[in-house]
Structure 1
Amino acid sequence: MTVLKVGTRGSALAMAQCGALAERFDAEVALVPITTQGDTDRSSLQQIGGTGVFVSALRDALLDGRVDVAVHSLKDLPTTPAPGIELVAVSKREDARDALCARDGLAFADLPQGARVGTGSPRRMAQLRVARPDLEVVDIRGNVPTRLARAQGDDADLDAVVLALAGLKRLGLDDRATDILSLVDFPTAPGQGALAVEIRDGDGATRAAVVKTDHAATRAAVDAERRVLAGLEAGCSAPVAAHAEVADGMLFLTGIAYATDGSTRLSASHAFTLDSTKPADLAEAARDVAERAVAELLEGGAADLVHEARA
């Protein structure tokens, strides 16, 4: 049997989530760790740009044949299609919420005045400042264990860090969460909690081996979310949140743009009644709700917020 070479970032989280997904492929697989710019450059995401820094090296490996499949955290995937590459599957989403991991078991509301909270995400920075202007938000980078140690290690220098709950669960570290942050106050990054499976265009054999991992409802939801990013011309590191879900015969979407300092928050929520859950109907729903949300956000001045965040 031909072994399918599956490319992934080499972090413990990336290897764990890719390995779990690859078990469902209809092929024998070998994981191939690939080092990306985001793994070696410890500058803040705002400084290095964010867009593509965790993806480009994997795509290069796919195009030059070193791997047959590339698996990404979908929230890292640029919204612009890559020539020669097909997004063949989007995995069923894990819990999309963010988690607070604090010292002494503290919940978010119980953090003391002026508490130091770490995150490398401009979106999370803005949300923390909206919810608790008194907090000192600290820009941090590193893998999940490294960031956890900043708040819960022997030499901790922070009161808390904010991480994706999905990543904690995939590493078996969800018991380190001291509070789960609601999607109402902390809507997440487009695609958070889902994985993207990419192959080379025209590779029918590989497509047949991996396409079963595509989850139609998740794909529609993240398509709507990513269309908000694209419509605002915002990158993966922009202070933009979007969360969509398919439920009760409808597709619901909320998109939010923030000023990084937390001073401004623009929100738009829309829904589409589904005729069916066929891929074409789901795709139409994703386009419709995203277009309406983007139009409302742009009318409210979201483009200015995105531009200011880049400056």
Structure 2
Amino acid sequence: MHGTHNAISDSRNDAIKISVNGELFSRENAKISVFDSGYLVGDGVWEAMRLHHNTLVFLDEHLDRMWTASATIGMKLPWTKAELTEKILDVLNANEMTDGVHVRVMVTRGIKKTPSQDPRLTISGPNLVIIPEFKIADEATKKKGITLFTSTIRRGSPDYLDPRLNCHSKLHEVQALVQAIEAGADEALMLDVNGFVATCNATNFFIIKNEEVWTSTGKYCMNGITRGKVIEVCRLHNIPCIEKDFSLFDVYGADEAFVTGTFGGLTPVTKIDGRAIGDGNKWPLTNKLSQLYNELIAMQIQK
């Protein structure tokens, strides 16, 4: 496979300890009940964050997003942000992890009395799973870039499942990715309900036209932390960055395109729907933004 989640293989992950409600388990023994709300109906929220040089990068933003998502689905978290941070750090310390780590934090509504959507049938508090892995993005992906295919699966409207919600219900993104893979692409580009470009199945999408950086309005895309940081560095360095509606007409004629995500940072896009984007493998502004984003991470580490 080739895509934004390509990672360098690390045998240390065979022996990682995973936290399930505060108890540590080996990878093969980390299990949760089949009556868990997340397993039964996708009822839960999650975050993924990076550990660089003993620093959980952009931690405040990730926690804010998790608390917002939990409030959105009517699930009260039984910890403070400081307490959840301690739980994450405990797992990292137990694994002797200090750098090059990807942490996935998942919270579901809890155990159900019987299979059902009804939250009143939940008989436990929220389930918390923390999975830390030694995981570094493969630089070959950035050098090669990725290809996209525009899926017929649209991003949802905010009135039925807000696309900004980082929840366990990801089936429509999976459907979009399946279409893209079957079409021979690496990942999927998704349009919003009005036909404008919204996002990708697991990353946020940007194009560059005439030295301007364009991304969607944010109404129909994932509330990406990296997306927000790219917009921030553009403004800090006087690089025009516009959140706007644009269509595939604009995308096919772009000078450059890239996607953003917590794991891979910025990854160039070489083709969309079989059409080459820009000038082959030359991505001057994408590379500059990637450098500025890495400098922002370095500033976080130094705090």
TM over 0.5: no
**Higher-helix-fraction structure:** 1
- What TM-score results when the alignment is normalised by the length of structure 1? 0.26
- What TM-score results when the alignment is normalised by the length of structure 2? 0.26
